[in-house]
Structure 1
């Protein structure tokens, strides 16, 4: 949808709320399905083929915009490549690597702190002013992350025994924070569909050499079957294309402040789905860490909310 069409599109609050509930459900499913299939599909294969499928679906609709705005894309090529690297390529690949050694619940809890990392990096890199309440929120959320990573045991941190997947997921969230800050600093004047299609195209090309190296020298790829094809279709369609569209429609219809609240449903949905499909159980450290993260998010995002997303 072009920016002009988006401005004239009718507002449909009911549909927007439904979409904003489905979006964190799809994001939670991304973590749960990744955790459940990572033994059959290597992380880089998961990331690469997810975006190839999404690109195949989007390209017939997005290609005309790419051709029409090719001069703008060429003029902002460096920015577009950097944005694609931190979002499409790095964030999703790291999330799938995290799924090898940590739980879907931990992935979702750490993933929910994206607004914290955006606020922190905006303060460090853009010089955004941080109010006392926002600083307190950042501190609480970071304490919550440490609680989850340490699994409630300080000796895990002091003994450097944290799950590698938790640390990889922190790196993934940091990568998305960099993307968000760069998006503000180096905004590219493109319609949403054209921007999304271009980002997925560039991100897929960036992943390609790493995927080929992994295919030849490390994982050997995966066997295509119904059990591997269905998760890839899910990754491409639901947390990818549909969640992105629902999220942006919700932000446009009810405003970013109200839409941001729905992000907090992601770890709730993930814990339920992980309990049903992966037999994951909630520990006391999940409750404490999740409570600290939620309190921190509520404080830190009172005046700033995340924008469009594609995970």
Structure 2
């Protein structure tokens, strides 16, 4: 009887209270995710800085190395650098790669075959600083694609995105207005070079958003080697046409050293850092950091190519940096 009384006196578990409208709709980021923010931002910043140099080399080699050949040899160098780390890993995961072949081919096409070829084509007529400005449209593409995938961006991140985007648009308008003699490219802001860069920005934004779907078993080194290999193979027909129509280029320190830079630093190192950053903080937050690229490109083109700069550009740079700081924080 006493046991029965104890059983009946045990309080029933409280039923969960209904959710109120004041409760946050989006849970706070997990502790491990928060700890990954700083390394992710640092890796995104490293990739952005290294890619900034590739815009300078695209402009510098525009008159000496045909765009397709520039891209082809860039990826050959990158493939050689990554092979010791990723070839064996990729071979062990060949069954996984076959199962996700469409994903791998699309990532290779957007991020390797097409993206850099378009950038090199733009470099024939477009100043490096203007290329970096136009390329800053890619974070908008990343955010739109991520939102289309069902990811809530948060008010703070959207505000940072818009603030940095405003700075970039003002920077483009400043250059297009001819301040300091700068001009985004042959034919003005909407010249052929600018159109090539807009297409490149869309490709890179699509590639970055696509990284969210990378198979879990395909680690960074294996993924890089696979995409570099497939992307280089996809470039082979265009490389053959370029050699037949335009002829080759003369190897010299002025051509070989820039190709080594873009192959090692702007490809192998930068893509590994960027892909890792995406896995840690997502494409939208990494895309906000990517807004630093026009700032880095402007400084490098001023220092190495003597392209003009001025106070208006410095003001736009401050606006971009403020947007990066605002949008790179925790989602709210």
TM-score by length of 2: 0.71
Q: Which moved more, 1:265-274 or 1:140-149?
A: 140-149
Partner of 1:43: 67
Match runs of 1:155-174 below 5 Å: 161-162=188-189, 163-174=191-202
Separation in structure 1 between the aligned mates of residue 50 and residue 209 of structure 2, nearest angstrom: 24
- Where does residue 222 of structure 1 map in the other structure? 249
The unaligned stretches of length 5 or more in structure 2 are 1-38
Q: Which residue of 2 aligns with 1:199?
A: 227
Q: Using the alignment, how far apart are the partners of 1:135 and 1:17 within structure 2?
A: 17
Which residue number in structure 2 is paired with residue 179 of structure 1?
207
Are residues 1:94 and 2:118 paired?
yes
Q: For the structure 1 residues 293 and 16, does the alpha-carbon distance in structure 2 shift closer, same or farther, using more than 3 Å as the test?
A: closer
Measure how far apart 1:196 and its partner are.
0.5
Displacement after TM superposition at 1:258 (Å): 10
Partner of 1:309 in structure 2?
Answer: none
The equivalent of 1:122 in structure 2 is 146
* Moved beyond 6 Å, runs of 4+: 15-21, 248-253, 255-262
Distance apart, 1:237 and its partner CA: 0.9
Spell out, residue by residue over 1:184-206, the C-alpha distance to the aligned partner (whole angstroms, 9 max, x if none).
Answer: 2x322301110100010011111
How many correspondences in the alignment?
286
TM superposition shift of 1:232: 0.9
- TM-score, length basis structure 1: 0.76
State the 1:277 CA deviation.
Answer: 1.7
**1:47-66 to 2 correspondences below 5 Å:** 47-66=71-90
CA root-mean-square deviation: 3.7
Look up the SS of the partner of 2:250 in the other structure. coil
Corresponding residue for residue 279 of structure 1: 306
Residue 52 of structure 1 deviates from its aligned partner by: 0.8
Counterpart pick for 2:127 among 89, 103, 111: 103
Instruction: Note the residue ranges of structure 1 that are not aligned, 5 or more in a row.
Output: 1-14, 305-311
Question: How far apart are residue 25 of structure 1 and its match?
Answer: 3.7
Q: Is the 8 A contact 1:113 1:293 kept in 2?
A: no
2:214 aligned counterpart, secondary structure: coil
Aligned to 1:213: 241
Report which of the two structures shows the higher radius of gyration computed on alpha carbons.
2
CA contact (8 A) 2:208 2:278 kept: no
The answer to which of 52-61 and 21-30 deviates more is: 21-30
8 Å Cα contact 2:168/2:320 also seen in 1? yes
How far residue 108 of structure 1 moved from its aligned partner, in angstroms, is 2.5
Deviates more, 1:283-292 or 1:163-172: 283-292
| Counterpart in the other structure of 2:14 | none
Query: Which residue, out of 234, 237, 241, partners 2:261?
Result: 234
Deviation (angstroms), 1:101: 2.0
Structure 1 residues 169 and 303: alpha-carbon distance in aligned structure 2, compared to 1, 3 A threshold? farther
